[in-house]
Amino acid sequence: ETGVTQTPRHLVMGMTNKKSLKCEQHLGHNAMYWYKQSAKKPLELMFVYSLEERVENNSVPSRFSPECPNSSHLFLHLHTLQPEDSALYLCASRGQGSYGYTFGSGTRLTVV
Amino acid sequence: QKEVEQNSGPLSVPEGAIASLNCTYSDRGSQSFFWYRQYSGKSPELIMSIYSNGDKEDGRFTAQLNKASQYVSLLIRDSQPSDSATYLCAVGRNTGGFKTIFGAGTRLFVKA
């Protein structure tokens, strides 16, 4: 596989469930990002992982928990979500010396 | 004030015309500027990046940057129905790690 792969593509979960989103990049990039995309709103940066540092958006609720075990894999652990968390969650990666992102196909999350 | 502002549209142009998409940004320290195209139900795809004042051309696309006016634009010449999508303007900066801030996007509709 090439590019940035996200699984699952679709996820429906109850408010008491725990689930994880997975992102894997095969591009040799050294920075990975989680973005949230809600209807008619700008992409919202949630978390950044790079060789230099991990950066968090302090406005992201603690019910979202990132994990980056290595430079190729990124997870977003979800627990006790709210219906307003329903959105498209996008993973992106960036190579060293490059500033544009390569996005995965996204996970469409619905919280019921 | 939004960090990256775009007219939400829709912008409707006839096939073969020039489509002009505009964007303003608030952070004068921004260093990198991008245009992403997002088809309905798909993830964003990088189509243009520009880093210095002036024009940058790539095929039918021309990106224009004016840092003094904090203004970025994208021109699409000879517009095709396949160009119908949402175009996201994005601005990058390197403060505590490289991060990109996105606008909410402009919907473009090219009429055959």
pLDDT tens per residue across span A61-93: 999 999 999 889 999 999 999 999 999 999 999
Contact A106 B100 (CB under 8 A): no
Q: Between A47 and A56, where is the model more confident? A: A47
Query: How confident is the model over B44-57, as a mean pLDDT?
Result: 96
Can you give the pLDDT at residue A59? 83
Q: Give the integer Cα–Cα distance in Å for B14 and B12.
A: 7
Q: Are B88 and B5 within 8 A, CB to CB? A: no
pLDDT band at A52 (very low <50, low <70, confident <90, very high): low
Contact B102 A42 (CB under 8 A): yes
Q: Are A94 and B92 within 8 A, CB to CB? A: no
Q: Between B20 and B2, where is the model more confident? A: B20
Q: Give the integer Cα–Cα distance in Å for B2 and B26.
A: 7
- Which of A43, A89, A103, A107 is the best substitution to test chain B (most B C-beta atoms within 10 A)? A43
